[in-house]
Structure 1
Amino acid sequence: MSVAFNWFQHVLRIHPEVTFFLVLGFGYALGKLKIGSFTLGAVTGTLLAGVLVGQLEFRISGEVKQCFFLLFLFSIGFRTGPQFFRGLRRDGLQQAFLAAIVATTGLAVAFIVSKFLGYQAGTAAGVVAGSLTESATIGTATDAITRLNLSDADRQMLTNQIPVAFAVTYLIGVIGTAWILSQLAPKLIGVNLPAACRELEDKMQGGSAQGIPVRREFELRAYFIEEGSPLAGASISDTEANMGDQRLFIDRMRRDGQVMNAAPDTVLRAGDIISAAGRRTLLVEHMPGQASGVREIDDRELLDVEAEALDVVVTSRTIDGRRLGELAREQAARGVFVSRLTRAGTPMLISPETVLNRGDVLTLVGSMSRVEAIVGKLGVADRASNATDMVLVSLGIVAGALIGVPALVVGGVEIGLSLSVGVLLGGLVCGWLRSVQPRLFGRIPGPTLWVFESIGLTGFVAIVGLNAGPDFVKGLQSSGLSLLLAGVLTSSIPMLVGVFVGHKIMKMHPGVMLGVCAGASTATPALAAVQEAAKSAVPTLGYGVAYAVGNVLLALWGTVIVALLS
């Protein structure tokens, strides 16, 4: 057994690339382990796997680690770019401002706690990264430490402190943030969160906006108009309008055995067969019956219409800032439904009051001809493709790095954006440019972006854990208990401040406000917990802008906390 282990250890030592993938596989497996309803996640799992394997004193070049991290930074910048710049505009400013308050409070608390507990810059950076659940802070802090005027040994010591503090405080940050926002905050501000969100949903779905479906299934069905039906003698436009806040469209019909297109002014007769498109509930429960005088039939020729579900990136300035309900009333929207809306990769609540932003991705459902006709009005089709514009990815990273590298030297300390923050800004700009000029700036498919983000971050963290392995255990033994206190304070105080400011001062809707607080700490598990407590998707309305602002500020805090404590 010992001979086999020695051989295995020898292979890992002379082939660090094999060691790297061993840590990745082990880390992702650890990340899937469940403790109740809580999972470690890929990042924490990979960090711990790296630490365990690192006890055998393996090391991988820092340059490799930095390559993975730059890919991760560019990816999150690309994904959140449209919402980050949207947050700088007036209609997103309130959410961006609250997110900035939460993120800045987190930095302030981490600094005060670190000074009180006597932490050095590396430990303080790990507290910021873990408590506020922003893994990018690890990389920016590491980058800042490498630029300090210290010996190699001292820089390595500070760098190795980061994963220790991160591993302890991250668990506290994830669990604590989710509990505070979903359970404690509603009680503190005295609101019935499900009722408040339901009231906002009712308000957003009401009025004469013709009820854009909220995650409904859409269908095309055929109906025979019988003698005495109230539909006989009514025009198609009147029939559609009489559905009230339901959206029903009649595009084709069969009359005297002939299939024809149905014009809005066509008057229906008994014996006609119509094809109707709309919500499944409307077509199944309300269309057929004695009151309507129609019965459903299967007319294959009439229903033989090419349909599609197409993703469209909103790029038009005339659409930016408009509500879905307004668009639903326009002639171009006849027969077209919105089945999904995503913003910065997050599914959003769909209602007539939902405001569209440039960079949003709408999934349109309807006949192919009608869907294709409206694409040009909204933006450009984002058709499924496996191709990734690696020119954009590579040159975007290079351009961001060239912006971030230049720095002023003051008192032996370099002051500048830093390489990592520059690449993050490069990703933000490329993501925004993609949202406004998708024909000029290349596509990165969603699955590819996920791979870049996931492998970029876990690859970076794996090497951090490997290189810090021996020092990790020592640091945990010496600072473990104090890190628990630091994690609790740094994760809870910013959330409580955000809840107080958002509710008492800004008078934000509680559901939206809690979504902003979750986004400010980039805590997607907390958003899921709030949505579950609210029994609503309303919190997503506050998450997009706040998540983008939080990503940028918390990444920047890695550089700032090192400068403050160096």
Structure 2
Amino acid sequence: MFEWFANTLRQYPEIAIFLSLAFGYYFGSFTYKGLGLGAVTATLIAAVIIGQLGIEVTGPLKPFFFLMFLFAIGYAVGPQFVRGIAKDGLPQALYAAVVCVFCLLGGYLAARFAGYDLGSAAGLYAGSQTISASMGLATDAINRLGLPPEETKRLLDAMPVAYAVTYIFGTMGSAIIIALLGPALLRIDLEAACKRYEEKHGGKKEAGGPGTAWHQFEMRAYRVRPDGRVVGKTATEIEHLAPEHRVFVERFRRGDKIVDATSDTVIQGGDVVAVVGRRDVLVNLIGAEAEEVDDRELLAVPIEGVDVYVTSKDVDGRSLAELAQLPWARGVFLRKITRGATATDIPILPATKVHRGDILTLVGRTQDVGQATKMLGYPDKVTDVADVMFIGAAIAIGALVGAIVYNVGGVPLTLSTSGGALIAGLFFGWLRSVHPSFGRIPSPTVWFMNSVGLNVFIAIVGLSSGPKFVAGLQQLGFGLFLWGIFATTLPLILAMYVGKYLFRFDDAIVLGAVSGARTTTASLGMVNDRAKSQIPGLGYTVTYAVGNTLLTIWGMVLIILLA
């Protein structure tokens, strides 16, 4: 039975790939306090074990999925990458570039001191910095060295061995260093720093909870007393009676008639007014002075919640406090801000700035939300349909540009098809954020291209190198694990001190910036938990976009430096 199974996998290697994915995603889903192997490492280990059966995978399957993965990475981070380089995110973008240089230096020094070959060095770098995608560009670079086929294969087989050994500390160790050791090294109290940041930027309590400037709302009906202080005042004047809160008069009943309120509507005694705002404001502020009534007809207004993809130039870079004063923001409330490839939740504070590419979750009356959506960008409607023409054309264009070889001083230089696909993703992802009328790729599709694309590539690498994996691990030994610790720790320690003392980032966001530049989402989760706040995420998105791009490209650069 086992012989039949092994022969079947050898004859149909595609089954082995799917089996590796199944085991990888299953075992990679287990975590302890937010830490685990992850799907990539678990898939690699599963593929290596299955690869002991001597399975060969040929054809363009590996580069196909890797190009798809790289394009998805670029597409997802494009808006933040371009904004970080071009506008007010420049300090964070420069910081991320510096940290990426530290990461390259850590991998380079470890490989030099230990005397590892190119394949082991590329794997050590990829694992210690938890940047699996760099192995693809390193593979391209090794293939272009013109080495004998046997030597090339030996180097490529060594790469996943070094990656698997160093990845464990690369992911768990980085989270521990940043979230647990970082505050002690920098002498900061994360929770207190985040509270100070919120107070400084207009927050009063935990971001997103009661007491922030924007929150989930209710609509309630109140009968105006004949001697009430709002009698004879316009809707705008009434709303300004509570200037520190966002409260709006939406409609009113006068006799048997129900009328939508405008800013010039004058309220009379005996009117029943529908007011919208935060629940605590309506209960504590208005409820204490007015009689609340249950007027179902008055309150039966169409309410809508919409995810809006921000594209407007006029909105880009403006704070929520500024936007709240604009006429089209009247009656519209903000529930959530999502930013970046990792869908980071951004704290909702008056000083929080909105950027192109953000997704804002708005709630309010249908007509109010519709008007606000037009001013902000486009509704991010739920759909299963991706613009496959756009995907195919963009990847093809990027790969063709990347395939061009430039001779500089007799030295052939090229982006490679992999680098071209990544650059294409960055460009077209940014272009989509500016002109979202084309190139739509639903989030689930981006996830599939990103996660499954990478893991198919990793599965094929593991299956191909499986027979020599154990021998390589025995040869490299425990020293590889220790050099991986060195390559992981050195850049992180440098990054923390540079972020705090050279770039002078606020204590509340500096560790989020370190996490982003090193593209370690696990550490951001741990930092947020320790801070009891989402504030550190403000330093994560731009640095993640730049870090994810440069750390991937470094896979090719490392081979050039060492070769």
Instruction: Assess if the C-alpha contact under 8 Å between 1:99 and 1:550 holds in 2.
Output: yes
The residue that corresponds to 2:304 in the other structure is 308
CA distance in 1, matches of 2:123, 2:3: 34
Aligned partner of 1:431 among 418, 429, 432: 429
Amino acid in the other structure paired with 1:236? A
Aligned to 1:397: 395
The Cα shift of 1:212 comes to 10
2-structure distance, mates of 1:53, 1:236:
71
* RMSD value, Cα: 2.0
Residue in 1 aligned with 2:207?
none
Deviation at residue 374 of structure 1 after TM alignment: 2.0
Match of 1:274 in 2: 273
**Aligned equivalents of 2:409, 2:434: Cα separation in 1:** 43
Query: Contact 2:197 / 2:508 at 8 angstroms: preserved in 1?
Result: no
Give how far 1:382 is off: 1.9
Query: Which of 95, 113, 118 is the matching residue for 1:121?
Result: 118
Which residue of structure 2 aligns with residue 223 of structure 1? Answer: 222
C-alpha change, 1:36 and 1:313, in structure 2 (3 Å) is closer
CA change 1:237–1:35 in 2 (3 A) is: closer
Deviation at 1:206, TM superposition (A): 5.5
Find out whether 1:21 has 2:41 as its counterpart: no
Tell me the matched-pair count. 556
| Match runs of 1:35-46 below 5 Å | 35=32, 37-46=34-43
Cα distance in 2 for partners of 1:543, 1:36 equals: 20
Give, in whole Å, the separation in 2 of the partners of 1:37 and 1:96.
27
Structure 2 gap ranges (5+):
205-209
Deviation at 1:408, TM superposition (A): 3.7
* 1:159 and 2:156 aligned: yes
Instruction: Describe the superposition over 1:215-264 as per-residue Cα deviations: whole angstroms up to 9, x where unpaired.
Output: 73222222233465444454322321122321111110111121111233
Distance 1:239 1:367 in 2: 19
Match for 1:390: what amino acid? V
State whether residues 213 and 245 of structure 2, in contact with CA within 8 Å, keep that contact through their aligned partners in structure 1: no
Aligned residue in 1 for 2:323: 327
Conserved 8 A contact 1:336-1:366: yes
Distance 1:342 1:36, change over 3 A: closer
Aligned counterpart, 2:335: 339
- Partner residue, 1:318: 314
AA partner of residue 330 (structure 2): R
C-alpha displacement at 1:414, in angstroms? 4.0
Among 365, 368, 372, the residue aligned to 2:366: 368
The structural deviation recorded for 1:442 is 1.6
Q: Contact between 2:496 and 2:510, CA under 8 Å: does it hold in 1?
A: yes
TM-score, scaled to structure 1? 0.94
Change (3 A) 1:129 1:157: same
Q: Which residue of 2 aligns with 1:253?
A: 252
Partner of 1:530: 527
Could you tell me how far 1:126 is from its partner in structure 2?
A: 1.1
Normalising by structure 2, we get a TM-score of: 0.95
| Alpha-carbon shift at residue 197 of structure 1 (Å) | 1.1
**What is the CA-CA distance between 1:407 and the residue it aligns to?**
1.8
Q: What CA distance in whole angstroms lies between the structure 2 residues aligned with 1:194 and 1:354?
A: 19
Superposition deviation, residue 537 in structure 1? 1.2
Separation (CA, whole Å) in 2 of partners of 1:310 and 1:564: 49
**1:422 maps onto 2:420 in alignment:** yes
Whether contact under 8 Å (2:203, 2:213) holds in the other structure is no
Name the % identity. Answer: 44
Verify the 8 A CA contact 1:149 1:413 in the aligned structure 2.
no
Cα distance change, pair 293–283 in 1 and its aligned pair in 2 (3 A): closer
- Shift of residue 37 of structure 1? 4.7
Query: Residue 470 of structure 1 corresponds to which residue in structure 2?
Result: 467
Structure-2 residue corresponding to 1:544: 541
Conservation of the 8 A alpha-carbon contact between 1:212 and 1:350: no
Structure 1: unaligned runs, 5 residues or longer: none
Task: Kindly report which structure 2 residues correspond to 1:169-188, keeping only aligned pairs within 5 A, or say none.
Answer: 169-188=166-185
Q: Distance in 1 between matches of 2:168 and 2:85?
A: 32
Distance 1:410 1:236 in 2: 70
Contact 2:511 2:536 in 1 (8 A): yes
Structure-2 separation of matches of 1:517 and 1:35 = 22
Give the 3-state SS of the residue equivalent to 2:361 in structure 1. strand
